[in-house]
Amino acid sequence: MTIAVGDRIPEATMKVYKDAPQDVSSTEELGKGKVVLFAVPGAFTPTCSNKHLPGYVQHMDDFTQRGVKVYCLSVNDAFVMHAWGKERGIPEAMHLLADGNADFTRALGLELDGTKNGMGIRAKRFAMYIVDGVVKVLNVEAPGEFRVSAAEAMLEAVDA
């Protein structure tokens, strides 16, 4: 079942990279305050690297001024996410979440089967606005699309 507006964020363990991979709880990371979580099918992939992530980097100050923490999720390991963040020059205020086994992505019901393309299980391209652990806005892209999960769309959602 796919998570919906009004649902609480499910509990799952993911990884962040801080000198080494470290476990983090989805409810501890995403369950307090105002959060925008956006997911990309894969670090270093074209749309993710050239459009999706850069939009959030460009608008990071706009989110911070609104008191919103920004997290990027991908079904990649913590080493890949760390390398991607360094290569793309993400600001310290942005947090990269590695969901290497897709546990959190599956708990959300937002997994994408990319096995026919040699990519295994990935996250659909989506973004959500979460307040105190409750989903207020959920924008899931149609296959091949990139509109509703963009930074600009989520800034509008935060301001609504």
The model's pLDDT over 75-114, given as tens digits with 9 standing for 90+, comes to 999 999 999 999 999 999 999 999 999 999 999 999 999 8
Instruction: Compute the distance between CA of residue 104 and CA of residue 29 in angstroms, rounded to an integer.
Output: 12
Closest residue by Cα to residue 105 from 133, 79, 76, 81: 76
Band of pLDDT at residue 147, cut at 50, 70 and 90: very high
pLDDT at residue 140 in the model: 98
Instruction: Compute the distance between CA of residue 66 and CA of residue 49 in angstroms, rounded to an integer.
Output: 25
SS3 139: strand
pLDDT at residue 81 in the model: 97
pLDDT at residue 46 in the model: 85
Give the right CATH number for 7-157 from 3.30.420.40, 3.40.30.10, 3.40.50.2300, 3.90.1010.10.
3.40.30.10
Give residue 27's identity as a one-letter amino acid code. T
Q: What's the chain's length in residues? A: 160
Q: For residue 88, what are the contacts with CB-CB under 8 A and spacing of at least 6?
A: 49, 53, 54, 57
Which candidate in 48, 94, 96, 102 is catalytic? 48
Instruction: Compute the distance between CA of residue 106 and CA of residue 10 in angstroms, rounded to an integer.
Output: 10
> Does position 9 have pLDDT exceeding 90, yes or no?
yes
- Whether 48 is catalytic is yes
> Does position 156 have pLDDT exceeding 90, yes or no?
yes
- All structural domains of the chain with their residue ranges: 7-157
Q: Are 107 and 28 in contact (CB under 8 A)?
A: no
**pTM of the predicted model over 0.85:** yes
pLDDT at residue 12 in the model: 98
Instruction: Compute the distance between CA of residue 23 and CA of residue 100 in angstroms, rounded to an integer.
Output: 11
